[in-house]
Amino acid sequence: MVAGNDSVGMSHSLAKVAIHLVFATQGRERVLADQIRSALHGYMATVLRNLSSPAVVINSVEDHVHILFDLGRTVALSSAVEGVKRTSSRWVKTQGAEFARFGWQSGYGAFAVSESNMAAVRRYIERQKEHHQRLTFEDEYRAFLHRHGVAYDEAYLWT
C-alpha cells in the first residue's frame, strides 16, 4: 500500500491462470470426425465462456483434444473440466447415429502455462495434425507429464 493513498492495495481479488487441458476419447477411439470438429471446438468454447473460463485456442485430432483456456478466478479446475467434458459428450452424441456411443475417457491432463509461454503453447495446439503425423497421443501425453514433473502409474494412465 502506498502511504497516503488508501485507494491502492489488494481490495480486489485478481488472477490469471492459464491451463493447457488434454483429454482423449473413450478407449482413444479415433472417432472425432473432421465434419464435427470445428463445431465441437465452438461448442466447447461456449461452455468454457459460460463458466467464466474463456478458451484461448481449442484443437483436436481424431482421438483427443487440446484446450488452452484462462481458468475463471472463482472456478475450480475440476468443475471446468467436468463441465466441458460432460456437455460436449452429450453434444457429440446428437451429431449422428455414428456418435451415439461417444464418450471421453475419465481422466485428463491439466498443465499450468506461464504468460511467457502462451504463444508457444497456442502454436503447439494449432499444429496438432502435424505433430501427430510423427508422434502418437500416448507418447505426446507421457512427454507432457515428464515435462511438468507429474508422477503417474502407467497401469492407470489410459483408463
Per-residue pLDDT 10s for the chain (159 aa) are 445 555 555 668 888 999 999 999 999 999 999 999 999 999 999 999 999 999 999 999 999 999 999 999 999 999 999 999 999 999 999 999 999 999 999 999 999 999 999 999 999 999 988 878 888 888 888 988 888 899 988 888 876
Residue 54 lies in a domain: yes
In angstroms, the CA 62 to CA 52 distance is 28
**H or E stretch covering 90:** helix 77-93
Is pTM beyond 0.95? Reply is no
CATH number at residue 103: 3.30.70.1290
- Using the Cα atoms of residue 100, residue 101, residue 106 and residue 110 in order, give the sign of their dihedral: negative
Domain that holds residue 49: 17-150
22 in a structural domain: yes
Q: Which residue has the cell 484462462?
A: 70
In a domain, 12, yes or no: no
Beta-carbon contacts of 1 under 8 Å, excluding residues fewer than 6 positions away, are: 8, 9
Q: What is the count of structural domains for the chain?
A: 1
pLDDT at 101: 94
Domain assignment of residue 94, yes or no? yes
11 in any annotated domain: no
Q: Which of 59, 78, 82 is nearest to 132 (CA)?
A: 59
How far the first Cα of the chain sits from its last, in Å, is 50
